Structure 1
Amino acid sequence: MAQLYSSMKPTPVLKDELDIVIPTIRNLDFLEMWRPFFEQYHLIIVQDGDPSRTINIPKGFDYELYNRNDINRILGPKSSCISFKDSACRCFGYMVSKKKYIYTIDDDCFVAKDPSGKEINALEQHIKNLLSPSTPHFFNTLYDPYGDGADFVRGYPFSMREGAITAVSHGLWLNIPDYDAPTQLVKPLERNSRYVDAVMTIPKGTLLPMCGMNLAFDRELIGPAMYFGLMGDGQPIGRYDDMWAGWCVKVICDHMGWGVKTGLPYIWHSKASNPFVNLRKEYNGIFWQEEAVPFFQSVTLPKECDSVQRCYTELAKLVKEKLGKVDPYFIKLADGMVTWIEAWDELNAPNSKKRGH
């Protein structure tokens, strides 16, 4: 049964049911701008890089801070599955959270304004998206039929209007677009000023390039599949962490009958990363994605995969079998996927207290 949601009612704030996860290597001054929207929530901050460095966090926020030493202490040998010197380390925050929902944001993202000049409460819109159903099985040409001022169009089957549970809400960005390095190099001055007032469900069978800088999801539902892979330090690839998670998540959501939404809310992405540094990180990924995407497009999970963990373990096996031929890295990544699930289950077992400071 889909979650019922009326766009006319005020959006629940889910104060006690949602954690905000932030990966960072710097002081979190950006939180000042988000204070009106974030202050009532619990933050999980995953500090990347040198664990001896002290980062400043503005006063008044309720937070937990984890660095590499904490990750090693809490996960032990299984800490090998958490990336180092890459924003993929954020998925450790998903693992140690005990809340139903997660919102994750990068530390170079600020509050955007809609065309009327009003500041956008990104978290409120993500919550709206997650609490209203999705329509993965039949596309509604008026975008999200559960949004304000919208409905199902003529010809939409009445038997399908209850929709499906929404597992993921994928938000967008104004200002600096989320481009790969080659596109950055040929369009160095391009900025996104196009605000599209729409949310849509990505159809079943269609993959997406998921961006982790403005993303919310139902952790209880899809959390075990939100693994951002082995990236960054010591790995032959970077900047594909959220892409990898997105491909895995979408395949599993399609199998389980859940929905993924994209569109609103927008945030303001303030900082363009260096395209030459990015090219070095992405170089292998640009080649490998031409093999990985057809692999995910062709994956069929067996009926016995009736939980996210079973789906993900099966995916890991198929990654090793099919993509291991492309490069040995994928064998290592598949092993990381299995370790991630083991660590997730260990930390999230009933009555598990192994966490935190």
Structure 2
Amino acid sequence: MGRTAIVTTTIYVPKAIHAYMKNAKENGHSDAIFIVAGDKKTPPEAKQFCDACAEEFKMKCQYLTVDDQINWLQDFPELASAIPWNSIQRRNIAILLAYQIGCEIIITIDDDNYFVEGQDFIGEHIRHIKDQIPHTSLVSNTGWLNVCEYLEDKRKFEFYPRGYPMNQRWRSPKPIHRAVQQNRKVVVNAGLWLDDPDVDAITRLCNDISAERYLREDSFSLSRKTWCPFNSQNTAISREVIPGYCLSPNVGRYDDIWAGYVVMAIADKLDHAIMFGFPLVKQERNPHNYFNDHQAERIGLEFTETFCEWLREAPLKGTTYLACLGEIVAWLQQKAEGASNEQFKDQVFGFCLTQEAWIKTMERMNVV
């Protein structure tokens, strides 16, 4: 198994990088590479901080300045046009660079997340992807499973991850889950979150959610056709998935959610598994306006179940993530033509435009 990368984007000085690098060094992952995509709002001290961390731990940390990205993207003009400045989707650039230099596992983190002490952060992320070992897999009779059931809120409030379809929340009767042992190939490991979990803005406006503990002793996968969203704030992705994983700036705060559902649809087709659980992180959340966040989530919140129904119906024949992504784009465009809500239609077509740019970029990299 080749090198692992930890990637992020930021408009701040990425202080969390120091802790992640220290943890990697202490747990025998000195060959890991850190890639940070800056933005036009990022202070110059960010590069200085990354360079200082690399020097302290004698590890590789590549900070991508605005000029670095402009120069590098000259080879990928479609992607350069598709990903705007001053957007969290600059993360795509860090992911793509890690892919280009041959990294086998790419861990994407948010700059305001800190791992829970006492964990081998990289080790927990890569062990199921690196070694195909038997694991617990959960199946739901509804086709949906709320992974936040395994996070205990301080007031024992039931909550759902950002991107979980509204019509599937607080169902009566409750979905029935059962556990089976499986040995499917794991291609994504989605770590969960304590304290301030990744819930949507409408939940934040109505409830003060604080996850105090993870209720399981193990990580788990979801069985085929059992879905739950995964995000990009504490997630390890196998190299073979990257050609099918692109974060679109045209879908508000559902960039990672819809990208994750696309991966989930392809993984079902290829009989691959998505893991949830360890490693755990805590979020020291950067400033947010939750009313603005809700506006950026509203279309996704209303129509994600329809989006997922389309994905589940997609007649995939490809044998790679890139081939299946191309089929999904064509399928979504066909389905969106008949959508009655113009905002949803526009969002789907905008999502597909970014995916087309990603596909073209992969073709320029000679990926098949």
**Which TM-score tier does this pair reach, normalised by the shorter chain?**
0.7 to 0.9
Alignment of 1:210-225 (within 5 A): 210-219=230-239, 221-225=240-244
Residue aligning to 2:64: 66
Residue aligning to 2:188: 168
The verdict on how the C-alpha distance between 1:137 and 1:323 changes in structure 2, with shifts beyond 3 A counting, is: farther
Residue aligning to 1:258: 272
The structural deviation recorded for 1:137 is: 11
**Is the CA contact 1:134–1:201 (under 8 Å) kept in the aligned structure 2?**
no
Please point out which of 358, 361, 367 is paired with 1:340. Answer: 358
The structural deviation recorded for 1:135 is: 6.8
Residue aligning to 2:307: 292
The structural deviation recorded for 1:27 is: 0.5
Matched, 1:283 2:268: no
Letter in 1 for 2:116: A
CA distance in 2, matches of 1:293, 1:277: 25
**Is the CA contact 2:24–2:120 (under 8 Å) kept in the aligned structure 1?**
no
CA distance in 2, matches of 1:268, 1:210: 16
The structural deviation recorded for 1:204 is: 0.6
CA distance in 2, matches of 1:65, 1:348: 25
Matched, 1:306 2:319: yes
Q: TM-score, normalised by structure 1?
A: 0.77
The structural deviation recorded for 1:24 is: 0.8
CA distance in 1, matches of 2:313, 2:362: 27
CA distance in 1, matches of 2:254, 2:220: 24
> 1:234-267 CA deviation, whole Å, 9 max, x = no partner?
x4x4211110111110111111121111111101
Count the aligned residue pairs.
Answer: 305
CA distance in 1, matches of 2:305, 2:218: 30
Please point out which of 336, 339, 345 is paired with 1:327. Answer: 345
Q: Secondary structure at the match of 1:300?
A: coil
Letter in 1 for 2:23: F
Residue aligning to 1:317: 330
The verdict on how the C-alpha distance between 1:37 and 1:348 changes in structure 2, with shifts beyond 3 A counting, is: farther
The structural deviation recorded for 1:35 is: 3.1
Letter in 2 for 1:32: H
CA distance in 2, matches of 1:321, 1:135: 39
Q: Which has the higher helix share?
A: 2
Q: Secondary structure at the match of 2:106?
A: strand
Matched, 1:43 2:43: no
Matched, 1:101 2:105: yes
The structural deviation recorded for 1:284 is: 2.3
The structural deviation recorded for 1:139 is: 4.8
Residue aligning to 1:209: 229
The structural deviation recorded for 1:224 is: 0.6
The structural deviation recorded for 1:182 is: 0.6
CA distance in 1, matches of 2:43, 2:282: 31
Alignment of 1:182-261 (within 5 A): 182-187=202-207, 189-196=208-215, 197-219=217-239, 221-229=240-248, 231=249, 235=250, 237-261=251-275
**Is the CA contact 1:94–1:102 (under 8 Å) kept in the aligned structure 2?**
yes
Letter in 1 for 2:68: D
Residue aligning to 2:5: 19
Residue aligning to 1:146: none
Please point out which of 101, 107, 110 is paired with 2:114. Answer: 110
CA distance in 2, matches of 1:140, 1:340: 32
Matched, 1:32 2:18: yes
User: Which is further off, 59-68 or 177-186?
Assistant: 59-68
Q: Secondary structure at the match of 1:194?
A: strand
The structural deviation recorded for 1:342 is: 1.3
Residue aligning to 1:4: none
The structural deviation recorded for 1:92 is: 1.7
Residue aligning to 1:179: 199
Give percent identity, aligned residues only. 21
The structural deviation recorded for 1:299 is: 2.2
Q: TM-score, normalised by structure 2?
A: 0.75
Q: Secondary structure at the match of 2:35?
A: strand
Letter in 2 for 1:333: F
Letter in 2 for 1:29: K
Residue aligning to 1:148: none
Q: Secondary structure at the match of 1:239?
A: helix
Letter in 2 for 1:269: Q
The verdict on how the C-alpha distance between 1:338 and 1:137 changes in structure 2, with shifts beyond 3 A counting, is: farther
Please point out which of 40, 57, 61 is paired with 2:49. Answer: 57
Letter in 1 for 2:86: K
Q: Secondary structure at the match of 2:310?
A: helix
The structural deviation recorded for 1:89 is: 2.0
The structural deviation recorded for 1:184 is: 0.5
Residue aligning to 1:6: none
Residue aligning to 1:130: 129
> 1:272-306 CA deviation, whole Å, 9 max, x = no partner?
6331221122122222324212222322313xx12
The verdict on how the C-alpha distance between 1:208 and 1:74 changes in structure 2, with shifts beyond 3 A counting, is: same
The verdict on how the C-alpha distance between 1:94 and 1:288 changes in structure 2, with shifts beyond 3 A counting, is: same
- Flag structure 1 segments of 5+ consecutive residues without an equivalent: 1-13, 114-118, 142-154, 351-357
CA distance in 1, matches of 2:300, 2:185: 32
